Amino acid sequence: MSVAAIVLAAGRGSRFGEAPKLLATLDGVPLVRRVAQAALASRADPVIVVVGRRGEDVAAALAGLAVRIVDNPAWDEGLSTSLQAGFAALPDDAHAAIVCLGDMPLVTPALVDALVAAFDETSGAAAVVPVHAGERGNPVLLARRLAPEIADLAGDRGAGPLLKGRADVRELDWGDASILRDVDTPAALAALASGER
């Protein structure tokens, strides 16, 4: 089945300070570029990047990568609008999308591929969610049939509320905490840079 990737890279990142979080670097590479590269190296195709705040700068950080840039003019209304923009941009043949957060630079192609494989193996799954030590993380795979419910989301919420308590969500055990490590503050980025991975 065809599975796309959606990289959410439109938000304010207010806890990071004035500097745009997604343009901050880890090992010399902007966070958003690391996430896009991981998606591109996986089975997911195409890779769609939703931009908003500082959209031109974020797009410039992705120069040379075979990604499709989608602008979300309503980015300041919250995460839900970026998820909706990404789903609206899916190609007609996409059965699902891996939703990647632009501030999770430790996500690997192997994780994305494992989510796709789990979806292939699980008939009727609405979503595949990675789990580490009993805690759900990101990225998540969302089946296209969730599009009407995603369209009804509002505010700064992703798909988490849609998946809570559903019987058709497959949980995928993942062996490390990368699925839980986002970069919300300069201190969090410094911890990753110092090797706390």
pLDDT in tens, 148-197: 999 999 888 888 888 988 999 999 999 888 898 888 777 888 888 887 65
| Residue 194, phi then psi, degrees to nearest 5 | -85, 0
Dist CA 53 CA 32 (whole Å): 13
The pLDDT assigned to 186 comes to 79
Amino acid symbol at 134: G
Q: How confident is the model at residue 136 (pLDDT cuts 50, 70, 90)?
A: very high
14 pLDDT more than 80: no
Beta bridge partner(s), residue 7: 49, 100
The pLDDT assigned to 181 comes to 85
11 pLDDT more than 80: no
Place of tokens 């839980």: 180
Over residues 24-73, the pLDDT tens digits come to 898 999 999 999 999 999 999 999 999 998 889 999 999 999 999 999 99
The pLDDT assigned to 173 comes to 94
b/e for 106-143, b at 16 or more Cβ within 10 A?
bbeeebbbbbbebbeebeebbbbbbebeeebbbbbbbb
The pLDDT assigned to 157 comes to 80
The pLDDT assigned to 156 comes to 83
The pLDDT assigned to 120 comes to 93
The pLDDT assigned to 158 comes to 83
The pLDDT assigned to 159 comes to 86
19 pLDDT more than 80: no
Q: At what angle do helices 109-121 and 31-40 cross, to 10 degrees?
A: 50
Over residues 66-125, the pLDDT tens digits come to 999 999 999 989 889 999 999 999 999 999 999 999 999 999 999 999 999 999 998 889
Structure-token pair, residue 99: 């939703």
b/e for 1-15, b at 16 or more Cβ within 10 A?
ebbbbbbbbbbebee
Beta bridge partner(s), residue 132: 135
Q: Where are the domains positioned within the chain?
A: 3-191
132 pLDDT more than 80: yes
| Residue 66, phi then psi, degrees to nearest 5 | -85, 65
User: Looking at the domain 3-191, which fold is it?
Assistant: Spore Coat Polysaccharide Biosynthesis Protein SpsA; Chain A (3.90.550)
The pLDDT assigned to 125 comes to 92
